[in-house]
Amino acid sequence: MKNIYGITRESLENYFLEIGEKKFKALQVFEWLYQKEEANPDNWSNIKKEIRDKIKSDFSFSVPKIIRRERDTLTRKYLFQLSDQNYIEAVVMYHDYGISLCVSSQVGCNMGCAFCESGRLKKVRNLETFEMVSQILLIESDIKMRISSVVIMGIGEPLDNFRNVMNFINIINDAKGLAIGIRHITLSTSGIVPKIYDLMNMDIQINLAISLHAPNDEIRNRLMKVNKVYNISQLITAIRDYIAHTNRRVTIEYVMLKEINDSEDCALELANLLKGMNIYVNLIPYNETNHINLSKSDAKTISNFCAALKSKGINVTIRKEFGSKISAACGQLRSKEVEK
Protein backbone atom coordinates (compact mmCIF):
# COMPACT_ATOMS: atom_id res chain seq x y z
CA MET A 1 0.00 0.00 0.00
CA LYS A 2 1.35 3.44 -0.94
CA ASN A 3 2.01 5.96 1.78
CA ILE A 4 0.08 9.22 1.42
CA TYR A 5 3.22 11.29 2.21
CA GLY A 6 5.05 9.79 -0.75
CA ILE A 7 2.54 10.85 -3.41
CA THR A 8 3.07 13.93 -5.56
CA ARG A 9 0.06 16.16 -6.20
CA GLU A 10 0.00 15.08 -9.84
CA SER A 11 -0.15 11.38 -8.89
CA LEU A 12 -2.90 12.14 -6.38
CA GLU A 13 -4.87 13.95 -9.10
CA ASN A 14 -4.58 10.84 -11.28
CA TYR A 15 -5.76 8.73 -8.36
CA PHE A 16 -8.88 10.88 -7.94
CA LEU A 17 -9.62 10.75 -11.67
CA GLU A 18 -9.26 6.95 -11.59
CA ILE A 19 -11.82 6.65 -8.78
CA GLY A 20 -14.23 8.94 -10.66
CA GLU A 21 -13.66 12.09 -8.60
CA LYS A 22 -12.57 15.60 -9.58
CA LYS A 23 -8.85 16.13 -9.58
CA PHE A 24 -9.04 19.29 -7.41
CA LYS A 25 -9.61 16.94 -4.45
CA ALA A 26 -5.84 16.37 -4.57
CA LEU A 27 -5.31 20.03 -3.83
CA GLN A 28 -7.64 19.83 -0.82
CA VAL A 29 -5.82 16.74 0.49
CA PHE A 30 -2.46 18.47 0.07
CA GLU A 31 -3.72 21.47 2.01
CA TRP A 32 -4.75 19.23 4.90
CA LEU A 33 -1.54 17.22 4.88
CA TYR A 34 1.00 19.97 4.40
CA GLN A 35 -0.48 23.36 5.13
CA LYS A 36 -2.75 22.51 8.06
CA GLU A 37 -0.56 19.49 8.90
CA GLU A 38 -3.70 17.53 9.85
CA ALA A 39 -2.90 13.84 9.50
CA ASN A 40 -6.27 12.46 10.51
CA PRO A 41 -8.63 12.26 7.51
CA ASP A 42 -11.63 12.23 9.88
CA ASN A 43 -10.91 15.91 10.44
CA TRP A 44 -10.80 16.85 6.74
CA SER A 45 -14.06 18.75 6.95
CA ASN A 46 -14.37 19.82 3.29
CA ILE A 47 -14.03 16.25 1.96
CA LYS A 48 -16.99 13.82 1.89
CA LYS A 49 -16.92 10.88 4.29
CA GLU A 50 -17.02 8.26 1.49
CA ILE A 51 -13.92 9.79 -0.08
CA ARG A 52 -12.13 10.04 3.26
CA ASP A 53 -12.91 6.35 3.91
CA LYS A 54 -11.65 5.40 0.45
CA ILE A 55 -8.41 7.33 1.03
CA LYS A 56 -7.98 5.63 4.42
CA SER A 57 -8.35 2.22 2.83
CA ASP A 58 -6.11 2.97 -0.16
CA PHE A 59 -3.18 4.71 1.56
CA SER A 60 -0.99 4.16 4.57
CA PHE A 61 -0.51 7.14 6.89
CA SER A 62 2.28 5.60 8.97
CA VAL A 63 5.38 7.71 9.63
CA PRO A 64 8.72 7.02 11.34
CA LYS A 65 9.06 7.55 15.10
CA ILE A 66 11.35 10.07 16.74
CA ILE A 67 13.28 8.00 19.29
CA ARG A 68 16.00 10.40 20.39
CA ARG A 69 16.75 14.11 20.40
CA GLU A 70 20.03 15.83 21.20
CA ARG A 71 20.47 19.57 21.27
CA ASP A 72 22.91 22.38 21.78
CA THR A 73 22.52 26.10 21.21
CA LEU A 74 22.13 26.22 17.45
CA THR A 75 21.42 22.60 16.61
CA ARG A 76 18.95 19.85 17.30
CA LYS A 77 19.59 16.35 16.15
CA TYR A 78 16.89 13.70 15.73
CA LEU A 79 17.15 9.94 15.50
CA PHE A 80 14.18 8.25 13.80
CA GLN A 81 13.18 4.61 13.83
CA LEU A 82 11.62 3.34 10.60
CA SER A 83 8.91 0.68 10.42
CA ASP A 84 11.52 -2.00 9.61
CA GLN A 85 13.52 -0.98 12.73
CA ASN A 86 16.24 0.78 10.76
CA TYR A 87 17.47 4.16 11.96
CA ILE A 88 18.05 7.46 10.21
CA GLU A 89 18.81 10.94 11.46
CA ALA A 90 18.17 14.56 10.63
CA VAL A 91 19.71 17.76 11.94
CA VAL A 92 18.00 21.11 12.47
CA MET A 93 20.21 24.20 12.34
CA TYR A 94 19.13 27.63 13.50
CA HIS A 95 20.57 30.43 11.34
CA ASP A 96 20.04 34.20 11.37
CA TYR A 97 18.04 33.79 8.17
CA GLY A 98 15.79 30.90 9.24
CA ILE A 99 15.78 27.23 10.15
CA SER A 100 17.36 24.66 7.92
CA LEU A 101 17.00 20.91 8.07
CA CYS A 102 19.54 18.38 6.86
CA VAL A 103 17.68 15.22 5.82
CA SER A 104 18.85 11.67 5.10
CA SER A 105 18.10 9.97 1.79
CA GLN A 106 19.24 6.39 2.50
CA VAL A 107 19.73 4.01 5.43
CA GLY A 108 23.54 3.98 5.49
CA CYS A 109 25.56 4.71 2.38
CA ASN A 110 27.62 2.72 -0.10
CA MET A 111 29.90 5.54 -1.19
CA GLY A 112 32.39 4.71 1.56
CA CYS A 113 33.97 8.15 2.01
CA ALA A 114 36.90 7.72 4.38
CA PHE A 115 35.87 10.56 6.69
CA CYS A 116 32.22 9.57 7.09
CA GLU A 117 30.39 7.59 9.79
CA SER A 118 27.46 6.76 7.47
CA GLY A 119 29.70 5.24 4.82
CA ARG A 120 31.35 3.10 7.48
CA LEU A 121 28.07 1.25 8.10
CA LYS A 122 27.16 0.69 4.41
CA LYS A 123 23.82 1.13 2.72
CA VAL A 124 20.91 -0.99 3.92
CA ARG A 125 18.29 0.49 1.59
CA ASN A 126 16.99 3.62 -0.06
CA LEU A 127 14.55 5.78 1.85
CA GLU A 128 11.04 5.93 0.46
CA THR A 129 9.78 9.39 -0.47
CA PHE A 130 7.40 9.48 2.50
CA GLU A 131 10.27 8.72 4.89
CA MET A 132 12.05 11.84 3.67
CA VAL A 133 8.93 14.04 3.73
CA SER A 134 8.11 12.77 7.24
CA GLN A 135 11.46 13.95 8.59
CA ILE A 136 10.32 17.51 7.89
CA LEU A 137 6.74 17.12 9.14
CA LEU A 138 7.73 15.39 12.38
CA ILE A 139 10.40 17.94 13.17
CA GLU A 140 8.18 20.92 12.34
CA SER A 141 5.60 19.52 14.69
CA ASP A 142 8.25 18.91 17.38
CA ILE A 143 9.81 22.39 17.24
CA LYS A 144 6.49 24.08 16.43
CA MET A 145 8.13 26.12 13.71
CA ARG A 146 8.36 25.94 9.95
CA ILE A 147 11.53 24.76 8.23
CA SER A 148 12.66 27.39 5.73
CA SER A 149 15.35 25.48 3.87
CA VAL A 150 16.27 21.84 3.30
CA VAL A 151 19.63 20.31 2.55
CA ILE A 152 19.73 16.71 1.33
CA MET A 153 23.10 16.09 2.87
CA GLY A 154 22.42 13.67 5.75
CA ILE A 155 22.95 9.92 5.59
CA GLY A 156 23.12 8.62 2.03
CA GLU A 157 23.98 9.64 -1.52
CA PRO A 158 20.80 11.29 -2.84
CA LEU A 159 21.63 10.69 -6.51
CA ASP A 160 21.82 6.96 -5.73
CA ASN A 161 18.10 7.22 -4.78
CA PHE A 162 17.19 9.45 -7.69
CA ARG A 163 13.48 8.83 -8.24
CA ASN A 164 12.46 8.99 -4.58
CA VAL A 165 14.56 12.10 -4.00
CA MET A 166 13.02 13.84 -7.04
CA ASN A 167 9.51 13.02 -5.76
CA PHE A 168 10.53 14.35 -2.35
CA ILE A 169 11.70 17.63 -3.90
CA ASN A 170 8.47 17.85 -5.90
CA ILE A 171 6.30 17.45 -2.76
CA ILE A 172 8.19 19.81 -0.48
CA ASN A 173 8.48 22.47 -3.20
CA ASP A 174 4.80 22.22 -4.25
CA ALA A 175 3.00 25.48 -3.46
CA LYS A 176 0.23 23.40 -1.86
CA GLY A 177 2.72 21.00 -0.31
CA LEU A 178 5.34 22.25 2.13
CA ALA A 179 5.98 25.23 -0.18
CA ILE A 180 9.73 25.32 0.42
CA GLY A 181 11.17 27.49 -2.36
CA ILE A 182 13.23 25.55 -4.90
CA ARG A 183 16.22 27.83 -4.26
CA HIS A 184 15.96 26.89 -0.60
CA ILE A 185 16.56 23.23 -1.39
CA THR A 186 20.13 21.97 -1.70
CA LEU A 187 21.18 18.54 -2.92
CA SER A 188 24.68 17.41 -2.06
CA THR A 189 26.37 14.66 -4.04
CA SER A 190 29.68 12.85 -3.78
CA GLY A 191 29.95 13.18 -7.58
CA ILE A 192 28.13 10.43 -9.48
CA VAL A 193 28.75 12.04 -12.86
CA PRO A 194 25.96 10.49 -15.03
CA LYS A 195 23.41 11.34 -12.33
CA ILE A 196 24.58 14.96 -12.30
CA TYR A 197 23.61 15.07 -15.97
CA ASP A 198 20.25 13.43 -15.15
CA LEU A 199 19.68 16.11 -12.53
CA MET A 200 20.70 18.81 -14.98
CA ASN A 201 18.11 17.52 -17.46
CA MET A 202 15.34 17.76 -14.84
CA ASP A 203 15.63 21.55 -15.25
CA ILE A 204 14.91 22.32 -11.64
CA GLN A 205 16.54 25.29 -9.99
CA ILE A 206 17.74 23.61 -6.79
CA ASN A 207 21.15 24.36 -5.32
CA LEU A 208 23.70 21.72 -6.19
CA ALA A 209 26.58 21.06 -3.81
CA ILE A 210 29.47 18.82 -4.80
CA SER A 211 31.57 17.07 -2.18
CA LEU A 212 34.98 17.62 -3.73
CA HIS A 213 37.26 17.53 -0.67
CA ALA A 214 40.50 17.31 -2.64
CA PRO A 215 42.32 19.27 -5.34
CA ASN A 216 43.71 16.21 -7.19
CA ASP A 217 42.99 12.55 -7.89
CA GLU A 218 45.75 11.27 -5.64
CA ILE A 219 44.20 12.78 -2.51
CA ARG A 220 40.60 12.29 -3.62
CA ASN A 221 41.18 8.59 -4.35
CA ARG A 222 42.25 8.17 -0.73
CA LEU A 223 39.21 9.99 0.61
CA MET A 224 36.40 9.08 -1.77
CA LYS A 225 35.94 5.74 -3.54
CA VAL A 226 33.67 7.38 -6.11
CA ASN A 227 36.73 9.14 -7.52
CA LYS A 228 38.04 5.83 -8.83
CA VAL A 229 34.95 5.62 -11.03
CA TYR A 230 34.46 9.31 -11.89
CA ASN A 231 37.70 11.20 -11.49
CA ILE A 232 38.16 14.90 -10.86
CA SER A 233 38.50 15.80 -14.51
CA GLN A 234 35.18 14.08 -15.37
CA LEU A 235 33.54 15.67 -12.34
CA ILE A 236 34.74 19.19 -13.19
CA THR A 237 33.48 18.78 -16.77
CA ALA A 238 30.08 17.73 -15.42
CA ILE A 239 29.99 20.72 -13.07
CA ARG A 240 30.91 23.08 -15.91
CA ASP A 241 28.14 21.59 -18.08
CA TYR A 242 25.67 21.81 -15.21
CA ILE A 243 26.47 25.49 -14.65
CA ALA A 244 26.23 26.27 -18.38
CA HIS A 245 22.87 24.50 -18.68
CA THR A 246 21.19 25.76 -15.49
CA ASN A 247 22.91 29.11 -15.13
CA ARG A 248 23.16 28.34 -11.42
CA ARG A 249 26.16 28.70 -9.16
CA VAL A 250 27.40 25.40 -7.70
CA THR A 251 28.72 24.96 -4.17
CA ILE A 252 31.96 23.06 -3.71
CA GLU A 253 32.17 21.35 -0.33
CA TYR A 254 35.67 20.87 1.03
CA VAL A 255 36.15 19.21 4.42
CA MET A 256 39.37 20.37 6.09
CA LEU A 257 41.42 17.35 7.21
CA LYS A 258 44.66 17.85 9.06
CA GLU A 259 47.75 17.16 6.96
CA ILE A 260 45.65 15.48 4.27
CA ASN A 261 44.16 18.22 2.10
CA ASP A 262 44.81 21.44 4.02
CA SER A 263 48.24 22.67 2.82
CA GLU A 264 48.82 25.92 0.96
CA ASP A 265 49.79 23.89 -2.11
CA CYS A 266 46.40 22.17 -1.96
CA ALA A 267 44.70 25.58 -1.78
CA LEU A 268 46.58 26.82 -4.85
CA GLU A 269 45.89 23.61 -6.76
CA LEU A 270 42.20 23.87 -5.86
CA ALA A 271 42.07 27.51 -6.96
CA ASN A 272 43.61 26.51 -10.28
CA LEU A 273 41.10 23.68 -10.73
CA LEU A 274 38.11 25.96 -10.11
CA LYS A 275 39.41 29.06 -11.87
CA GLY A 276 36.78 30.95 -13.86
CA MET A 277 33.87 28.74 -12.74
CA ASN A 278 30.65 30.08 -11.23
CA ILE A 279 31.23 28.29 -7.94
CA TYR A 280 31.44 28.99 -4.27
CA VAL A 281 33.68 27.00 -1.94
CA ASN A 282 32.45 26.00 1.48
CA LEU A 283 35.31 24.98 3.80
CA ILE A 284 34.02 22.58 6.44
CA PRO A 285 35.84 22.08 9.74
CA TYR A 286 35.80 18.29 10.19
CA ASN A 287 33.63 16.75 12.94
CA GLU A 288 35.94 14.14 14.45
CA THR A 289 34.52 10.73 15.45
CA ASN A 290 35.95 7.90 17.55
CA HIS A 291 35.96 5.34 14.76
CA ILE A 292 37.81 7.29 12.10
CA ASN A 293 41.46 8.10 12.30
CA LEU A 294 41.30 11.58 10.77
CA SER A 295 41.68 14.92 12.51
CA LYS A 296 40.30 18.32 11.94
CA SER A 297 42.62 21.05 10.61
CA ASP A 298 43.37 23.74 13.16
CA ALA A 299 41.63 27.09 12.90
CA LYS A 300 44.74 28.93 11.68
CA THR A 301 45.32 26.43 8.86
CA ILE A 302 41.70 26.76 7.78
CA SER A 303 41.86 30.55 7.72
CA ASN A 304 45.16 30.47 5.76
CA PHE A 305 43.61 28.05 3.26
CA CYS A 306 40.62 30.35 2.92
CA ALA A 307 42.87 33.39 2.41
CA ALA A 308 44.91 31.57 -0.26
CA LEU A 309 41.74 30.76 -2.22
CA LYS A 310 40.49 34.34 -1.86
CA SER A 311 43.80 35.70 -3.11
CA LYS A 312 43.19 33.73 -6.32
CA GLY A 313 39.72 35.22 -6.76
CA ILE A 314 37.73 32.19 -5.51
CA ASN A 315 34.48 32.84 -3.59
CA VAL A 316 34.93 31.02 -0.31
CA THR A 317 33.61 30.90 3.24
CA ILE A 318 34.29 28.75 6.27
CA ARG A 319 31.21 26.90 7.45
CA LYS A 320 30.12 27.74 10.94
CA GLU A 321 30.55 24.71 13.18
CA PHE A 322 27.24 23.15 14.11
CA GLY A 323 26.67 20.62 16.80
CA SER A 324 30.12 19.12 17.29
CA LYS A 325 29.12 18.50 20.91
CA ILE A 326 26.10 16.40 19.95
CA SER A 327 27.32 13.79 17.47
CA ALA A 328 26.38 16.03 14.57
CA ALA A 329 28.78 14.49 12.08
CA CYS A 330 26.81 12.70 9.42
CA GLY A 331 25.62 9.37 10.82
CA GLN A 332 27.14 9.50 14.30
CA LEU A 333 23.88 9.24 16.22
CA ARG A 334 22.68 6.38 14.03
CA SER A 335 25.94 4.47 14.29
CA LYS A 336 25.81 4.71 18.09
CA GLU A 337 22.30 3.21 18.05
CA VAL A 338 23.18 0.47 15.53
CA GLU A 339 26.21 -0.57 17.54
CA LYS A 340 24.37 -0.64 20.88
- The residues of the shown chain that bind ligand SF4, judged by CB under 6 A, are 109, 111-113, 116, 118-119, 155-157, 190, 330
Q: Is 38 a catalytic residue?
A: no
Q: For ligand SF4, which is the closer residue by CB, 117 or 140?
A: 117
Neighbours of 321 (CB within 10 A): 16
Asked whether 281 and 314 are in contact (CB, 8 A), the reply is yes
Complex with ligand SF4: residue 13 or 89, whichever CB lies closer:
89
Which amino acid does the sequence have at 122?
K
Q: For residues 113 and 309, which CB has a smaller minimum distance to ligand SF4 in the complex?
A: 113
**Which one of the listed residues 102, 109, 116, 330 is annotated catalytic?**
330
> In 3-state terms, what secondary structure has residue 14?
helix
Smallest distance from the beta carbon of 299 to ligand SF4, in angstroms? 23
CB of 269 to ligand SF4, least distance (A): 22
Q: Distance (Å, rounded) from C-alpha 158 to C-alpha 165?
A: 6
Question: In degrees rounded to 5, what are phi and psi of residue 121?
Answer: -95, 0
Q: How far is the CB of 165 from ligand SF4 (least distance, A)?
A: 13
Nearer to ligand SF4, 112 or 174 (CB): 112
Distances (CA, A) of 324 to 188, 235, 321: 20, 30, 7
Active site annotation includes 102: no
Q: Which of 13, 89, 117, 140 is catalytic?
A: 89
User: Position 200: which residue type?
Assistant: M
How many other C-beta atoms lie within 10 A of the C-beta of residue 2? 14
In 3-state terms, what secondary structure has residue 81? strand
Please, what is the minimum distance in Å from the beta carbon of residue 221 to ligand SF4? 14
Chain residue whose CB lies nearest ligand SF4:
119
Catalytic site positions:
89, 330
